[in-house]
Amino acid sequence: MPLLFDNVRQLVTAAGPARARRGRELQDLEVLTDAALVVQDGRIAAVGPREAICAAHPGADVVDCGGRVLMPGLVDSHTHSIFGQPRHEEQELRAAGVGYMEIARRGGGIHSSVRDLRARSEDQLYALALPRVRRLMAHGTTTLEVKSGYGLTLEDELKSLRVIRRLQDALPVRLVPTFLGAHEIPLEYRTAPRSREEYIALLVEEMLPRVSAERLADFADVFCEPGVYSADEARTILGAARTYGLQLKLHADELETAGAAELAAELGATSADHLAAVSEHGVKALAGAGTVATLLPGTMLFLGRPQQAPARALIEAGAAVALASDFNPGTSPTVNFPLVLTLAVSQLRMSVAEVILAATVNGAAAVGLAAETGQLSPGFAADLALFDIEDVRELPYWYGDHRCHATWARGKPAFQATRAIA
Ligand code: NIG
Ligand code: FE
């Protein structure tokens, strides 16, 4: 039975080419009024003027959207959702002047999440991750990339990726698993007789083959940053990942410039993420490549750092910009993707059209799914979010609020607000 979404105030289709939008294309956000949408078999069957749509589907089940804004479900293309306990003590340390990398040098930061995750069973991690992912979903996300990266041993990375697989089996939203065994050099490989080279060999010779053989990840990612992995090391690891059939992502130029954006462009990575410290040369490289520049303004806000990624320069150079939450226990413990859109308008100086396309169509492109989700056009998956607002510009405006009324993933209800606040 088809489902007809009616009584929509604004129908934000984001319709257009099934690829990342770049440069000036990011200004063109299609918003329909007096429109309706039909879903059949989990796909969008029709979108258009409501009278014609209603007349053509007399037997459809009607979903009354209550005069709200219907838009593509959000695509959060960068999260680290598999972790144990929160790291609130680091927030106070940073406030007292101890920087993110200094905390890592003292054995905290990612290392502290690694110690914690290694001590937990797969069942425990699953029980922790499930409500966290549900919270992400409750803010409008219907496609979610999820990284491993707090295990850093073969077994602990496989354990994390299996948790993602179990989450996918339990949840209606689409999860995109990424192997991030190169999130850090584990502490035990920093002193003789072991070495960082040995850990990189383990990544390349044992972990990547197993992850690929068990089909546990679609992407591989590396934290390429001075003091973590160098550009040359990242090239080695991602080069190997590609031979195992994985698509590529890169944590690039997050805190300091390291030529990582250039590397992502050179390798034809699907996305280069963070970019708060990208150089002008890196901006040009991304503008000239198919790589999506994924910006994570919540991270810099939470770290209390003044610099943000140069979104305007990237867009004006012709790059494809996406936005994501970077949900993780160290640098961005927010589940509120619309809040990230607020930051993108106020801190990155992006327009509303740009932030909506960056969180839908371009988010989908950043996980290789631009032909599947991110826009409300016939043939695309029926991934929908209904927000309790009358104008799409209210989405980044009511900052920090919860406005998501309901979502559908592949035509199936994924989230429903239990009560309206009125
Ligand atoms: O995207 N930069 C590396 N990874 C995460 C932070 C991880 C952590 O601190 O736990 C990020 O910011
Ligand atoms: Fe990250």
Do 268 and 351 share a domain, yes or no? Answer: yes
Task: Give the single-character DSSP code of 23.
Answer: G
**Any ligand 1 atom below 6 A from CB of 329:** yes
Centroid of ligand 1 to alpha carbon of 330 (angstroms): 6
Residues 23 and 79 in one domain: no
Domain that holds residue 404: 3-72+372-416
Distance 333 CA to ligand 2 centre (A): 11
Tell me, yes or no, whether 253 and 383 share the same domain: no
Testing ligand 1's pocket by substitution, the residue of 145, 331, 332, 340 carrying the most ligand atoms inside 8 A of its CB is 331
Ligand nearest to the CA of 149: 1
Q: 398 and 289 in one domain?
A: no
Indicate whether 322 belongs to any domain: yes
Q: Is residue 119 part of a domain?
A: yes
Count: domains in the chain: 2
pTM flag (> 0.95): yes
43, 187: one domain:
no
Tell me if 422 is assigned to some domain: no
- Are residues 335 and 411 located together in one domain of the fold? no
Same domain, 283 and 243: yes
Flag whether 91 is in a domain: yes
- Assess whether 46 and 17 both reside in one domain: yes
Give a yes or no: residue 421 inside a domain.
Answer: no
Report whether 6 contacts 388 (CB < 8 A): no
Q: 411: domain CATH number?
A: 2.30.40.10
Q: How far apart are CA 117 and CA 163, in angstroms?
A: 12
Residues 6+ apart with CB under 8 A from 404: 138, 139, 140, 338, 385, 386, 387, 388, 415, 417
Query: Tell me, what CATH number does 118's domain have?
Result: 3.20.20.140
Closest CA to ligand 1's atom 3: 223
* 199 and 141 together in one domain: yes
Structural contact between residues 368 and 174, judged by C-beta atoms closer than 8 angstroms: no
- What is the pLDDT tens value at each position of the chain, 422 positions in all? 899 999 999 999 999 999 999 999 999 999 999 999 999 999 999 999 999 999 999 999 999 999 999 999 999 999 999 999 999 999 999 999 999 999 999 999 999 999 999 999 999 999 999 999 999 999 999 999 999 999 999 999 999 999 999 999 999 999 999 999 999 999 999 999 999 999 999 999 999 999 999 999 999 999 999 999 999 999 999 999 999 999 999 999 999 999 999 999 999 999 999 999 999 999 999 999 999 999 999 999 999 999 999 999 999 999 999 999 999 999 999 999 999 999 999 999 999 999 999 999 999 999 999 999 999 999 999 999 999 999 999 999 999 999 999 999 999 999 999 876 66
| Helices and strands, counts by H and E, the chain | 17, 16
If asked whether residues 172 and 150 sit together in one domain, one would say yes
107 and 147 housed in the same domain = yes
Tell me, yes or no, whether 301 and 253 share the same domain. Answer: yes
Regarding the beta carbon of 345 and ligand 1, being less than 6 Å apart is answered: no
